[in-house]
Each structure stands twice: as structure tokens, then as C-alpha cells.
Amino acid sequence: MRHFDLSPLYRSTIGFDRIFQLLDQATAPEATSYPPYNIERTDENAYRITLAVAGFAEADLSIEVKEAALTITGQKKAEGEQIRREVLHQGIAARAFVRRFQLADYVQVTGAALENGLLHIDLVREVPEAKKPRLIPIAANSSAKVIEANAA
């Protein structure tokens, strides 16, 4: 895959640091695909992220939102007395993970639920009234101003 060097742009721009950081993150190869996840739009301004976290309990999962980043962490807690078992085949992954999602402006996490081995995280985009487009009425003026010009 190609890697673009954005360093010349850093020297000649001011205030675009976040955009360049997002571009760097988007072009960086993702290290792992575990756990698998879906992102779906449930409404015009509502989204849902679903992660397959079979084998993890609520106490094993952590969801954190910091600035514009959503981080989901899963780590199995050490049990006091584990039963000694010999695993002949291990196809169920229960390893620790960290999954990060970059959130757009005005996207807020509204809730999370764990059911049937799936972690559902609901998000909503709430644009402030001051940022929403608004219509400006045009006043119809019945008296039109006429500018007179002298003929030369």
C-alpha cells in the first residue's frame, strides 16, 4: 500500500493538525481485525457499533470516550482458582483487545448493552442549533430606490 508523506504540508499550514492526524491514521495499516465488528446507521443521525465479544463478561469490558476517540478494551479477569484443563483445539479467541474508533464532530455515545455475546454501542450526532443551517427571510421592499443620472 502507498504511504503519503504529508510533512511538507505541516510546515506551511496552521491549525490543520487534526486533519493531518486523521489522514495519518486512515492510511496506517490496521494491526488486527479482532474482535470483528459492524457499524450501522440506524437513523439519519444515529449509529450503532456492534462488536462480537463472545466469552467476555461486562466486568471484562471497558468503553471510554476521550475527545473524539472511542476506545473499547476487553481483558479477561484472572479467576481465583482456575480449573486445570488440557485444550486440544482452541478456536475461540478470548485474548485481550483494544479497538479504537475516531468519532466525527458532535457524535456522542448514548449507551451500550451486552447481549448474546455482542456488545452494542449506540451513538447519535447532535449538531448544536448554532451550527445547523437556517433560512434567512428576504424582506420584500415595495419602494424601490431609483438612482438618477444626468445625461451628458
Question: Domains in the chain, please, with CATH?
Answer: 1-30 (no CATH), 33-78+89-130 (2.60.40.790)
Q: Which pLDDT score, from 0 to 100, does residue 131 have? A: 80
Q: Which pLDDT score, from 0 to 100, does residue 143 have? A: 61
Q: Which pLDDT score, from 0 to 100, does residue 28 have? A: 64
Q: Which three cell numbers stand for residue 4?
A: 503519503
| CA dist., res. 56 & res. 94, Å (int) | 7
Asked if 90 contacts 127 with a C-beta cutoff of 8 angstroms, the reply is: no
Q: Which three cell numbers stand for residue 49?
A: 457499533
Residues in the chain: 152
The residue behind cell 478470548 is: 94
* pTM, two decimal places: 0.66
Q: Which pLDDT score, from 0 to 100, does residue 147 have? A: 63
Q: Report mean pLDDT in 10-residue bins for the chain, 152 residues.
A: 64 66 65 84 93 91 92 81 73 84 90 94 89 84 63 60
Q: Which pLDDT score, from 0 to 100, does residue 37 have? A: 93
